[in-house]
Amino acid sequence: MKVSLNKRILNRNDECAQKNKAFFENHGVLCLNVISSPGSGKTTLLSRTILALKNKLKIGVIEGDIKTDTDAAKIRATGAAAVQIETQGACHLSAVQVHDALKQIEAAEKDVIFIENVGNLVCPSAFDLGEKKRVVLLSVPEGDDKPIKYPGTFAGADVILINKMDLIAYIPFDLDRVLTDIRKINPHARVFQVSAATGEGMQQWYDWLCDTIA
Amino acid sequence: MKVSLNKRILNRNDECAQKNKAFFENHGVLCLNVISSPGSGKTTLLSRTILALKNKLKIGVIEGDIKTDTDAAKIRATGAAAVQIETQGACHLSAVQVHDALKQIEAAEKDVIFIENVGNLVCPSAFDLGEKKRVVLLSVPEGDDKPIKYPGTFAGADVILINKMDLIAYIPFDLDRVLTDIRKINPHARVFQVSAATGEGMQQWYDWLCDTIA
């Protein structure tokens, strides 16, 4: 019973995700679904990316949080458009919530829509939002065992950003082990080592983004 | 439909949680449910606590992870008993899973059972496991906005450990803001500033633990 109902919820989500996907394709908009644990640096990543590329690309951000519009306010401070979805307890965004936000953010006019999912390394990976690519962050302070402990989320990524590389001197973190574990789970994802806070390594991410749009 | 089924799942969980609660009370076992984001330091907290108190207390640990028995192996290396539950994708532990682990870990013979929940700052807080007290970790690198963004989990805590205090020099983190935000959400929780990695501040946590057992 539980399984069949969960399947029904997922099917309903997938139907709407297909609508979102068609919308993005019809309007030539690149949509990226950004997933990580709480505090891995998703908002900092997006803020720095907007500041670096805003003269080149029209960027909009859909923010998912359980509570507060803190993150949307941070994004707006960079000059980009942002819509906040407060999930009121729900642990992930749904395709319907994204669909409802598209008009408000004037998505059809944008080059890129980032969806910053609720901070959660588990549940968001089960819900297709209609994105073209999925971006997963792992921050150095979370530890080097996270890919093998949360394999589903890492397996579904098109890009994996190892963030907060500026903290690696202060924390035991076996980078070689992480890179090896990621390759076993996901041989195809692009992996970039960055610090969204300092800007270190971000150029390769910007290049990937611009190449993916082109 | 979704709501009523979720309620049914929660009711079934709560029934079993009541059984676990009775078991712990009947056997004079203190059960603590430890919740945080991935990588906040739950396993390091428990390992150091066991090493500090194992001559004084009989401690068992029930480990919840989506995949791998990495954490149970770390706990066993400290000399304590540990049972690993692999949730195979599920984002939280259930009371039934805990119930099934009690015999295996010889819970009736212990003074303390720690349940290390799946790394997730959202879903575990909705599922009573029959614990006496709930312990929530927030690590400094996750950022000072987490209590207001994930209020449900912080509101349900009996103890909140602000962990990785050894990293505060390297990261922008407004401790006063965090303490103020926590007090608004949860006026009654005990709040300790610790580093499970270095041992800083851990004595107050050990004292609380021993006082709560006595």
Question: What is the per-residue pLDDT for A1?
Answer: 41
Q: Is the pTM of this model over 0.90?
A: yes
Question: What is the per-residue pLDDT for B9?
Answer: 80
Give the Cα separation of A208 and A211 in Å (integer): 5
Q: Which two tokens stand for residue B40?
A: 């906040």
Contact A120 B121 (CB under 8 A): yes
- Work out the pLDDT band at B3, boundaries 50, 70, 90: low
* pLDDT per residue as tens digits for the range B12-37: 999 999 999 999 999 999 999 999 99
**Residue B1 scores a pLDDT above 50:** no
Q: What is the ipTM of this complex?
A: 0.94
**A50 Rama sector, left if φ>0, alpha if ψ -120 to 50, beta otherwise:** alpha
- A-B C-beta contacts closer than 8 Å: 115
Give the Cα separation of B100 and B139 in Å (integer): 31
Q: Using CB atoms and an 8 Å cut-off, which of residues 61-120 of chain A contact chain B?
A: 65-68, 70, 89, 91, 118-120
| Domain coordinates in residue numbering, chain A | 2-213
Burial group, residue B46, by CB count within 10 angstroms (0-12, 13-18, 19+):
buried
Give the Cα-Cα-Cα angle B16, B74, A124 (nearest 5 degrees). 60
Question: What is the per-residue pLDDT for B8?
Answer: 82
**B164 Rama sector, left if φ>0, alpha if ψ -120 to 50, beta otherwise:** left
Q: Which residues, including other chains, have CB under 8 Å from residue A30's CB and lie 6 or more apart?
A: A24, A111, A112, A113, A132, A133, A209, A212, A213
**Helix or strand run (H / E) with residue A191:** strand A190-193
Contact A39 B38 (CB under 8 A): no
Q: Which two tokens stand for residue B31?
A: 């059960």
- Edge-to-edge strand list for the sheet holding A59-65: A81-86, A59-65, A112-116, A30-35, A133-139, A159-163, A190-193
Question: What is the per-residue pLDDT for A6?
Answer: 75
Q: Which two tokens stand for residue A139?
A: 């921050």
A159: distance to nearest CA of chain B, Å? Answer: 20
| CATH T-level fold of A2-213 | Rossmann fold (3.40.50)
Q: Which two tokens stand for residue B59?
A: 């401690």
Please report, in tens digits, the pLDDT of each residue of chain A (214 residues total): 455 667 888 889 999 999 999 999 999 999 999 999 999 999 999 999 999 999 999 999 999 999 999 999 999 999 999 999 999 999 999 999 999 999 999 999 999 999 999 999 999 999 999 999 999 999 999 999 999 999 999 999 999 999 999 999 999 999 999 999 999 999 999 999 999 999 999 999 999 999 999 8
Give the Cα separation of B99 and A176 in Å (integer): 38
- Work out the pLDDT band at B10, boundaries 50, 70, 90: confident
Contact A66 B170 (CB under 8 A): no
The CA-atom distances, in angstroms, between B123 and each of A91, A124, A165, B10, B15 are 7, 12, 29, 12, 18
Give the Cα separation of B89 and A122 in Å (integer): 8
Q: Is A144 on the interface with B (CB under 8 A)?
A: no
